[in-house]
Amino acid sequence: MAFILQKLVRLFSSLLFHLIPLLVFSVHVLSSALPAAVQTEEAEADSLLRWKASLDKSKPIFPVFLEYYAGRPCNWFDNFLTGTIPASIGNLTALPILYIQRNQLSGSLPQELGMLKFVTEIFFSENSLTGIIPISIGNLTNLWALYLDRNQLSGSIPQEIGMLRSLTELALSHNNLTGPIPTSIGNLTTLSYLYLTDNQLSNSLPREIGKLTKLTRLFLEMNDLSGTLPLEMNNFTLLEAFIIFK
């Protein structure tokens, strides 16, 4: 019995001898990694604040004017901001939401917007944005809400919009968009709201729109659409509001 106890004591001592250096190493790695992560978040927050400062020279930046989400200042609606969205926005790769609706932003949407791989909500409504919807928008595969309505966007709705398979809300109303509704719209099978009101969209509705079986609101009025409604729209069993007229 004493022999067995001695063996157990030796085994336990050996385990401690090997585990203690490992624990010390793990603590060292964690302690060195945490400051780097904090520095990254602080750098992104600082970039956002610098951008806001460049947009709105007439007001000092105080915390009372900002709202924070996940520790990042990215909620700036109703602030009378002017200027353009810089290409450097693509550096904010960890940004989760971006609310800058109801301002006076102008210029086009930069291709670098497609670098925000973790963004889930983009609200650019009610600004004066021009140009096309960049095809890089298709890279935002975590996006569930995209609001670009009430701007002056032109060109066609890119086929790449169909890559946003997590999208539940899409608002492109009150712009100058032209061309047909892309067939790739049928890939957005989780879509609940689709707002395309008051554009210059043409041709007939694609049959693929019938795949959007979770739609509850579909607004297509004030466009140049033609043809008949596809039979596939009989799949819209959850639809609560549907508006279509010229």
CATH number for the domain that contains residue 163: 3.80.10.10
In a domain, 27, yes or no: no
In a domain, 89, yes or no: yes
Q: Mean per-residue pLDDT for 203-230?
A: 97
Is residue 199's pLDDT more than 80?
yes
In a domain, 17, yes or no: no
What is the structure's pLDDT at 245? 87
In a domain, 60, yes or no: no
Per the rule left: phi > 0, alpha: psi between -120 and 50, beta: everything else, 155 is left
Instruction: Quick: pLDDT tens for 128-175.
Output: 999 999 999 999 999 999 999 999 999 999 999 999 999 999 999 999
Q: How many CB atoms lie within 10 A of CB 71?
A: 11
* Number of domains into which the chain is organized: 1
> Cβ contacts of residue 21 below 8 Å, gap of 6+?
none
What is the structure's pLDDT at 207? 97
Structure tokens at 240: 């609560």
Q: How many helices (H) and strands (E) does the chain have?
A: 1, 16
Structure tokens at 222: 């004030």
Is residue 181's pLDDT more than 80?
yes
User: Is the sign of the CA dihedral 210, 211, 212, 213 positive or negative?
Assistant: positive
Three-class DSSP category at 161: helix
Per-position DSSP letters for 223-244, written without gaps between them = SEE-S---GGGGG-TT--EEE-
Q: Which of 51-55, 93-97, 208-212 has the highest mean pLDDT?
A: 208-212
Q: Which of 22-31, 190-199, 237-246 has the highest mean pLDDT?
A: 190-199
Q: How confident is the model at residue 26 (pLDDT cuts 50, 70, 90)?
A: very low
Task: Give me the domain span that covers residue 207.
Answer: 67-243
| C-alpha to C-alpha distances, 45 to 75, 91, 137, 199, 233, nearest whole angstrom | 12, 11, 23, 36, 45
State how far the Cα of 154 lies from the Cα of 177, in Å rounded to an integer.
Answer: 5
Looking at the chain, the whole-number percentage of residues with pLDDT higher than 70 is 68
In a domain, 24, yes or no: no
In a domain, 31, yes or no: no
State how far the Cα of 109 lies from the Cα of 114, in Å rounded to an integer.
Answer: 10
In a domain, 196, yes or no: yes
In a domain, 112, yes or no: yes
Q: Where are the alpha helices (DSSP H) in the chain?
A: 2-55
State how far the Cα of 74 lies from the Cα of 86, in Å rounded to an integer.
Answer: 14
Widest CA span in the chain: 95
With contact defined as beta carbons under 8 Å apart, do 219 and 201 qualify?
no
The mean pLDDT value of the chain amounts to 80
What is the structure's pLDDT at 24? 40
* Poorest-pLDDT segment among 13-17, 88-92, 186-190, 238-242: 13-17
